[in-house]
Amino acid sequence: MKKVAVILSGCGVFDGAEVHEAVLSLLAIRQHGAAYQCFAPDKVQLHVIDHLTGNEDNSQSRNVLVESARIARGEIKPVSELNVEEFDALIVPGGFGAAKNLCTFANDGADSKVDEDVAVACKKFADSKKPAGYACIAPALAASIYGNQVKLTIGTDEATAEGINALGAKHVNCPVEEIIIDSDAKLVTTPAYMLAQDILEAHKGINKMVQTVLGMA
Give the confidence band of 32 by pLDDT, cuts at 50, 70, 90. Answer: very high
77: closest CA among 36, 110, 30, 112?
36
Task: Specify the pLDDT at position 88.
Answer: 98
38 is an active site residue: no
* CATH architecture group of domain 3-216: 3-Layer(aba) Sandwich (3.40)
Q: Could you tell me which residues come within 8 angstroms of residue 162 by beta carbon, excluding any fewer than 6 positions away?
A: 171
Catalytic residue among 38, 103, 122, 136: 136
Task: Specify the pLDDT at position 136.
Answer: 98
Task: Specify the pLDDT at position 144.
Answer: 97
Range with lowest mean pLDDT among 56-60, 75-79, 82-86, 127-131: 56-60
| Distance from C-alpha of 58 to C-alpha of 65, rounded to nearest angstrom | 19
SS3 (DSSP) at 167: coil
pTM over 0.95: yes
pLDDT in tens, 93-105: 999 999 999 999 9
Q: Hey, where are the domains in the chain?
A: 3-216
